[in-house]
Amino acid sequence: MTTALETLKTSSREVHNLAMAAQLLGWDQETYMPDGGAHARAEQIATLAKIAHEKSTDPSLDAVLKAAALEAPDVSTDDGALVRVSRRAYDRAVKVPAELTAEMQKAASLGQHAWIKARANDDYESFKPFLARNVELRRQLAETLGYEDSIYDPLLDEFETGMKAADVNAMFNSIKGDLIDLVAAISEKSDAISDEVLRRDYDKAGQQKFSQWASAAIGYDYNRGRIDEVAHPFCTNFSINDVRITTRYMKNWLSSSLFGTMHEAGHAMYEQGSSQALEGLPTAGGTSLGVHESQSRLWENLVGRNRAFWDFAYGELQSTFPTALGDVSVDEYYRAINKVTPSLIRVEADEVTYNLHILIRFEMEQLLLNGDITVDEAPKVWNDKYEKYLGVTPPNDADGIMQDVHWSAGYLGYFPTYSIGNLLSVQILEKAVADIGDVDPMFAAGNFEPLLSWLQSKIYVHGSKFMPKDLMTQVLGGPMDARPYMNYLTKKFGALYGL
Amino acid sequence: MTTALETLKTSSREVHNLAMAAQLLGWDQETYMPDGGAHARAEQIATLAKIAHEKSTDPSLDAVLKAAALEAPDVSTDDGALVRVSRRAYDRAVKVPAELTAEMQKAASLGQHAWIKARANDDYESFKPFLARNVELRRQLAETLGYEDSIYDPLLDEFETGMKAADVNAMFNSIKGDLIDLVAAISEKSDAISDEVLRRDYDKAGQQKFSQWASAAIGYDYNRGRIDEVAHPFCTNFSINDVRITTRYMKNWLSSSLFGTMHEAGHAMYEQGSSQALEGLPTAGGTSLGVHESQSRLWENLVGRNRAFWDFAYGELQSTFPTALGDVSVDEYYRAINKVTPSLIRVEADEVTYNLHILIRFEMEQLLLNGDITVDEAPKVWNDKYEKYLGVTPPNDADGIMQDVHWSAGYLGYFPTYSIGNLLSVQILEKAVADIGDVDPMFAAGNFEPLLSWLQSKIYVHGSKFMPKDLMTQVLGGPMDARPYMNYLTKKFGALYGL
């Protein structure tokens, strides 16, 4: 006799396989697809999404989930977690009317299209109605999903299950003042560090070689992954055992491929680390965007921008680029990769200013969703916040409120996960150090195995079996806390800038 | 009100999108997938195939097809052809029990696995039961599909709709004697031509550059395609506007990438040439394997191995490989690329011997399916035929009866399409010449547009709207005939070998 759990697994695997196929179609679209393939590709992805949606909202699943919950009541087991995750996804999927989903998809598609043109022409007026429509539809989605405290909560919950706007506000409030002060203090000494050495000529072949060497060194498994070149880098996967990263090579900006690759490798190692028992199930893979980002930022910044790492790696980098770096000491290089510059653009931001970019977006999203400001007022509010927090004022909306693609596609509630990741990365590393000892000597010796093993056993292996909050409580032994991150910044950049 | 035709198109597009997605998964598997991805990939492809099968055998389709046939009774129109093609696929799909399909898939999977090992160990005994099982299941399939004359007919019909074993036998009988005589005559003068120049050092970068240049020159559209490297080259597509080819580069055998690329480009141009009105429908793409092969062989052999083509292309090739070809005249090179060698291995065969390799397989398949020989007797029968037709005797079964993968995967009825393609290629080119004039001066000038346009308007644009036999009758003004091909071989190779 087939148990309800077996039925659930069969159904889950089918939906999962459709989703993985769609992700491969997406990967190919960004990497190798010839221009001519674009129209058909959109249709193919839409077909897979439609069928997956039909299957994951099949009314018969409700009874299967109820029976499976009786068969596997303990949510800490693989099977129990599968039931929990599946129940949540099912309830969410059936709660949202197909019409609203279709409207959101349409608004996202039209919005992205309008955004590309509006940004190129610095024409906020033409983008405004699309932004307004996306905000309105996300309000409808939030009302549909329901909430107790803030209309922001159900939107954030889409990306960071169980997290609330109040948590994020508390987190930012505990460091906002210190962060603004630190940025201001560094800005006064902005000439103390130059990153000119990173802007020399770096040929693509060398960048490819070094990026792959570095990502393999920290533990990204190329037998279960690969790296390709794209315009906008990302990590994607089609199995625990096929997790791919992408990067871009800029001739006169070494950091792009180097730290971009370590960032995506961090995401990828998290995905590669799920227990093989979870393969093909929705419990495989990272548990939330925030926890995911904690791993990309940990490997990019806490490892890659750490002085000890370069004791290990700088010789290799220097020998790869003897012309550009032959006369540059490891200390000069280390300072360059950590230069802080309050700027207009989030994606170019350093470790110190990054979270202020996120804070601005988070505050803007709350104002818009709560109806406290209109889309007419939004550009001015945006610019005022940039002046207040970062001391810079956007000269136009293209590099101001229109710089990110997210809102054009209806992603509201997404940005905070970047900051959650940053904060968690430091808390997690501190906990690891408490268990395995000082990691700097290990990094200096090119030995990343102890750290990776610790992350693997504490976080990666669990996939998304646990809710992010529960997993973090297990790992950290307490709640998320922004102070360790602020302390880390103060110490590291205080030393670099002699504050 | 939705018409039955619209319902049919929606359903067809959905199944088509699933099939195209599965093909991309297959392409990725052969080109870029890391080793770790293999297991999950098989599961993903199986899921897409299962859903596509469910959708294409949905019982409600029968009524839709009936109503659509009334709405579009004229099968020469796009809509009428869609109904015809869909009806045929539906009837075929519902006729074959799911159990038999599953058994065939299992036997194919086990057979391929066993074949790899058996071939490596030259161990026919271990392969024999798997071959027997595949033969038995194809007999069952043939009985299920039904036939009037030969059990071979329904199997051939899977690949070459409307063609019968008797047609193929008649075709081979009309040239078999002459072909064997021609091979024997050439064998006596085997030293007249050397292909040593093709076995010099050809670096991969140069081969890539030249292959792409040549394939683009003849008309393969890289805006709607691309080329990648694989172990076993093929052409695949995910849209009329995304048709990809693959090749392999052998350092000491120039012909592999060069003619392999032109061959696959021929397939690809046929696929790219379908009317855009057929996009996303089962009427897009080539009408049969035989007609498809006529195009790959036309561009590979009748263009690529034609002396006039090298008046255009040899300068480019020589300048790409100055060391290897600097001292080689175009005439010496032309002779080298047309050297005839009766050999054991089909995939390495030249134009003259190729069809005898196919004839042997076609005769073997009929003997096995008719029960005239057993799998025990098969190796000896195979070897006797090689001795009789080609004057060579396999020293072992690995390079004899076990050399091709096809039978291990249950592909019986497939091989004749290779010869059908060869024969048709000459008939089609003769017809084109009758319409557009002598093509040699065009080839010599690098002008392939007149020929491509002719093929495009007569064949490619129609996709699979017409049955292969009907399309060929339209194009050729008469039936398929093997004599033109024999005459072509006799004239070309008579001149080359001074017969």
A342: domain CATH number is 1.10.1370.30
Closest residue by Cα to residue B128 from B411, B413, B407: B407
- Band (pLDDT 50/70/90 cuts) for residue A260 is very high
pLDDT at residue B199, rounded to an integer = 97
* pLDDT higher than threshold 90 for residue A348: no
pLDDT at residue B347, rounded to an integer = 87
Question: A73 and A164 share a domain?
Answer: no
The count of domains in chain B is 1
Select the residue of B24, B44, B226 nearest A34 (Cβ to Cβ): B226
In a domain, A291, yes or no: yes
Tell me whether residues B224 and A37 touch, CB distance under 8 A. Answer: yes
In a domain, A388, yes or no: yes
Distance CA B21, CA B47 (A): 11
pLDDT at residue B147, rounded to an integer = 97
Which of chain B's residues have a Cβ under 8 Å away from the Cβ of A28?
A: 24, 28
Mean pLDDT calculated for residue range A47-60: 95
Q: Does A49 touch chain B (CB under 8 A)?
A: no
* Start-end of H helices in B121-221: 124-145, 153-157, 165-173, 176-188, 204-218
> pLDDT tens for residues A200-226?
999 999 999 999 999 999 999 999 999
Q: What are phi and psi of B245, to 5 degrees?
A: -115, 165
Question: A64 and A196 share a domain?
Answer: no
Chains A, B: CB pairs < 8 Å: 128
Q: Does A224 touch chain B (CB under 8 A)?
A: yes
Instruction: Determine the residue of chain B that is closest to A50 in CA distance.
Output: B14
Question: A1 and A68 share a domain?
Answer: yes
Find all residues with CB under 8 Å of B343, minimum gap 6, and list them.
Answer: B349, B353, B390, B392
Tell me the pairing of strands A227-229 and A242-247: parallel
CA atoms within 13 A on the CB side of A438: 7
Q: Which of A10, A28, A212 to mutate to test the interface with B (most CBs of B within 10 A)?
A: A28
Percent of chain A surpassing pLDDT 90: 97
Strand, coil or helix: A321: coil
Q: Does A42 touch chain B (CB under 8 A)?
A: no
Neighbours of A352 (CB within 10 A): 23
Which of chain A's residues have a Cβ under 8 Å away from the Cβ of B35?
A: 223-224
Q: Which of B31, B39, B227, B242 to mutate to test the interface with A (most CBs of A within 10 A)?
A: B242
Q: Does B13 touch chain A (CB under 8 A)?
A: yes
Residues of B annotated as catalytic are 264
Tell me whether residues A222 and B48 touch, CB distance under 8 A. Answer: no
pLDDT at residue B321, rounded to an integer = 98
Is residue B317 within 8 Å of residue B325, measured between CB atoms?
A: yes
Question: A234 and A361 share a domain?
Answer: yes
Last residue of a domain, one of A52, A70, A95: A95
In a domain, A238, yes or no: yes
| Torsion sign (Cα): A122, A127, A132, A138 | negative
Strand, coil or helix: B239: strand
End-to-end CA distance of chain A: 70
In a domain, A341, yes or no: yes
Which of chain A's residues have a Cβ under 8 Å away from the Cβ of B43?
A: 13, 17, 280
In a domain, A141, yes or no: no
Range of the domain at A44: 1-95
- Band (pLDDT 50/70/90 cuts) for residue A460 is very high
Distance CA B233, CA B248 (A): 7
Question: A154 and A67 share a domain?
Answer: no
In a domain, B267, yes or no: no
Select the residue of B21, B223, B238 nearest A21 (Cβ to Cβ): B21
Question: A80 and A152 share a domain?
Answer: no
Distance CA A169, CA A150 (A): 12
Residues of A annotated as catalytic are 264
In a domain, B350, yes or no: no
Which of chain A's residues have a Cβ under 8 Å away from the Cβ of B21?
A: 21-22, 25, 44, 47-48
* Start-end of H helices in A98-230: 98-120, 124-145, 153-157, 165-173, 176-188, 204-218
> pLDDT tens for residues A112-150?
989 999 999 999 999 999 999 999 999 999 999 999 999
pLDDT at residue A150, rounded to an integer = 97
Closest residue by Cα to residue B72 from B138, B2, B142, B6: B6
Distance CA A173, CA A362 (A): 12
**What pTM value is reported for the model?**
0.94
In a domain, A130, yes or no: no
* pLDDT higher than threshold 90 for residue A1: no
For residue B131, what are its two tokens? 């071959």
Q: Does B200 touch chain A (CB under 8 A)?
A: no
Find all residues with CB under 8 Å of A329, minimum gap 6, and list them.
Answer: none
For residue B217, which amino acid is it?
A
What's the gap in Å between the CA of A60 and the closest CA on chain B? 18
Interface predicted TM-score of the whole assembly (ipTM), two decimals: 0.93
Find all residues with CB under 8 Å of A395, minimum gap 6, and list them.
Answer: none
Residues of chain B with pLDDT under 50: none
pLDDT at residue B1, rounded to an integer = 76
pLDDT at residue A347, rounded to an integer = 87
